[in-house]
């Protein structure tokens, strides 16, 4: 099983600032990596697929990068609605999720 490790577990950032979230795979997943956002009481929402392609309707302030084993989700200028939990997921070999990064207001 491919293990996905996200860091940090919690990230405190002020509105308007940039947030950088990391995700590492235990073995190469090529670009078969997605990012999801989850708010309390809601289902996860797809943000990024193919490591760097924004899903339909996702604002341009969200960007993804990386390939192989190292991936990054960047939110360029945090809005109030961006504070949530973010999960990475590999779909190169079945499916596994990272443990999540909680993005909180500083």
Q: By the criterion CB under 8 A, which residues form the site for other proteins?
A: 1, 32, 34, 36, 43-46, 49-50, 55, 87, 89, 91, 94-100
Residue 65 beta carbon to other proteins: minimum distance, rounded to whole angstroms: 16
Output 14 or 43, the one with its CB closest to other proteins.
43
Residue 32 beta carbon to other proteins: minimum distance, rounded to whole angstroms: 7
DSSP 6-54: EE-SEEEE-TTS-EEEEEEESS--TT-EEEEEE-TTS--EEEEETTTEE
Output 13 or 58, the one with its CB closest to other proteins.
58
Backbone φ and ψ for 36, nearest 5 degrees, come out as -130, 150
Output 15 or 59, the one with its CB closest to other proteins.
59
Residue 79 beta carbon to other proteins: minimum distance, rounded to whole angstroms: 22
Inter-CA distances, 102 with 13, 20, 46, Å: 11, 12, 16
């Amino acid at each position: 099983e491919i293990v996905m490790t996200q860091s940090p577990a919690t990230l405190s950032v002020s509105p308007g600032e940039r947030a950088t979230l990391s995700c590492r795979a235990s073995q190469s997943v090529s670009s078969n990596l997605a990012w999801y956002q989850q708010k309390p009481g809601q289902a996860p929402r797809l943000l990024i697929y193919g490591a760097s392609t924004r899903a339909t309707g996702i604002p341009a302030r969200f960007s993804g990068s990386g390939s192989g084993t190292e991936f990054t989700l960047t939110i360029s200028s945090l809005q109030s609605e961006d504070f949530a939990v973010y999960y990475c997921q590999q779909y190169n070999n079945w499916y596994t999720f990272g443990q999540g990064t909680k993005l909180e207001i500083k």
